[in-house]
Amino acid sequence: MSVLNLKDITKKYGELAAVDGISLDMERGKVLSLLGPSGCGKTTTLRIIAGFTSPDTGTVEIAGKDVGHLRPYERNVGLLFQDYALFPHMTVAENVAYGMRHRGTPTSEITTRVLRMLSLVQLTGMEARRPHQLSGGQQQRVALARALAIDPQILLLDEPLSALDAKLRLELRLELKEILRSVGATTIVVTHDQEEALTLGDEVVVMNAGKIAQRGTPTQIYEAPADKFVAEFVGRSNWFHASKRSQSTDGLTSYVADDGLEIRTRASRPDSEGGVDLCVRPEDIELVDGTAPESAPSPEHNVLAGVVLDVAPLGADVHVVIELPGKSRLLAIRKNVGRGSEILPGQSVRALFSASDVLVFQR
């Protein structure tokens, strides 16, 4: 049975629909990432589930019961705010105990549970501190412990890591994932960081302008994006616009891009007025020396000749920008293997990518 069931939720602020007909159901113990650009309605969705905002239309069901008429404190939903909202006048232990106090948990049980929660988030020994005596990462953990302490039916995390610096974010992301798994909390994590969404979630929901653009596993979202928005928003991508299709042979379709390049694809879409958008992920592109005699590994492969504009070694990966004949640019990401195989700016190269790696979207 699903723990959470949203049916056709809409919330308008004036003319603007912050949430526009969202339906969503979640199973117990799953972690769902809610990913989308700023202002797409993620926070509003969470606030509707928590009961701080009432939707214009639609119903919210928690564990099969309509909770539309319940106030926030009558629902059993844990909410972690973007700025943590720790109570500054209480110690860490009092913060964590707050929810249990107000739910009538016996005092002796509160004490042991506070200690257990704090050890879960690795803050043992910090019970007596005040929030202002903690680092940002520690505050984040207290907020998590406080939300988990009430054993909520659903845990809502609103950009839990966004207030932290990049390095800490990475560490805490993995830790957060572990904690959520070990507690088995049914969780929705809101984020506008795609890496965060893909690592934390069993499933990812991509939102755009108040609507759900796609829901799927991280792999599905990345490899089979439902539309151009998802493909562009998740991961890096190279785009070609083609207005005409030349022909189809052996299950391959050839498109002539606006800058004259011919690109073969495995997928095909019916012709449309505005043409199609073709997308190639940079890590699907292989680079070979342009001076070597041309030889495509298979008829499936697209071969584009170009000149290297820029090479940026970023740790494990090297980002190579190539200028194609039509002045359009192509980003290729290759593993940083080092040892003589470096590509230098100004070098002429050929970019190879398989027709089945090209995503086709209708305009």
Ligand X SMILES: Nc1ncnc2c1ncn2[C@@H]1O[C@H](COP(=O)(O)OP(=O)(O)OP(=O)(O)O)[C@@H](O)[C@H]1O
Q: Which residues bind ligand X (CB under 6 A)?
A: 13, 16, 18, 36, 38-44, 192
Binding mask 5-44 for Mg ion (x = CB under 5 A): --------------------------------------x-
Q: Closer to another protein by CB, 84 or 353: give it.
A: 84
Q: Closer to Mg ion by CB, 82 or 362: give it.
A: 82
The CA distance from 85 to 133, in Å, is: 15
100 — alpha (psi -120 to 50), left (phi > 0) or beta?
alpha
Locate tokens 């991509």: which residue? 206
Q: Find which of another protein, ligand X, Mg ion, none residue 87 binds, CB within 5 to 8 Å per kind.
A: another protein
Q: Closer to ligand X by CB, 40 or 134: give it.
A: 40
Report residue 144 as tokens: 């998590």
CB of 112 to another protein, least distance (A): 18
Q: How many residues belong to the chain? A: 363
Q: Find which of another protein, ligand X, Mg ion, none residue 218 binds, CB within 5 to 8 Å per kind.
A: none
| 98 touching another protein, by CB under 8 A | yes
| 106 touching another protein, by CB under 8 A | no
CB of 158 to Mg ion, least distance (A): 6
Q: Find which of Mg ion, another protein, ligand X, none residue 102 binds, CB within 5 to 8 Å per kind.
A: another protein
The CA distance from 269 to 212, in Å, is: 22
Q: Are strands 203-208 and 31-35 parallel, antiparallel or unpaired?
A: parallel
Report residue 277 as tokens: 């958008």
Report residue 143 as tokens: 């907020």
CB of 86 to another protein, least distance (A): 8
CB of 183 to another protein, least distance (A): 17
| 150 touching another protein, by CB under 8 A | yes
Residues 42 to 71 in contact with Mg ion, rule: CB under 5 A = 43
User: Segment near another protein (CB under 8 A), from 72-80, 187-195, 232-240, 320-328?
Assistant: 72-80
CB of 196 to Mg ion, least distance (A): 14
> Considering only residues 8, 25, 87, 363, which one is a binding residue for another protein as defined by CB under 8 A?
87
CA distances to 86, 108, 118, 161, 337 from 138, in Å: 11, 25, 11, 11, 38
Report residue 236 as tokens: 């890096």
Single out the residue of 265, 2, 18, 339 nearest to residue 153, CA to CA.
2
The CA distance from 25 to 61, in Å, is: 9
Locate tokens 């049914």: which residue? 186
| 81 touching another protein, by CB under 8 A | yes
> Considering only residues 69, 89, 327, 339, which one is a binding residue for another protein as defined by CB under 8 A?
89
Cβ neighbours of 166 (radius 10 Å): 7
Q: Find which of ligand X, another protein, Mg ion, none residue 146 binds, CB within 5 to 8 Å per kind.
A: another protein
Q: E-strand spans in the chain? A: 2-13, 16-27, 31-35, 57-62, 65-66, 77-80, 154-158, 187-191, 203-208, 211-216, 238-249, 252-257, 262-265, 276-280, 286-289, 301-314, 317-323, 329-335, 348-354, 358-362
| 90 touching another protein, by CB under 8 A | yes
| 52 touching another protein, by CB under 8 A | yes
Which residues contribute to the site for Mg ion (CB under 5 A)? 43
Residues interacting with another protein, by CB under 8 A?
Answer: 50, 52, 71-73, 76-79, 81, 83, 85-90, 98-99, 102-103, 146-147, 150
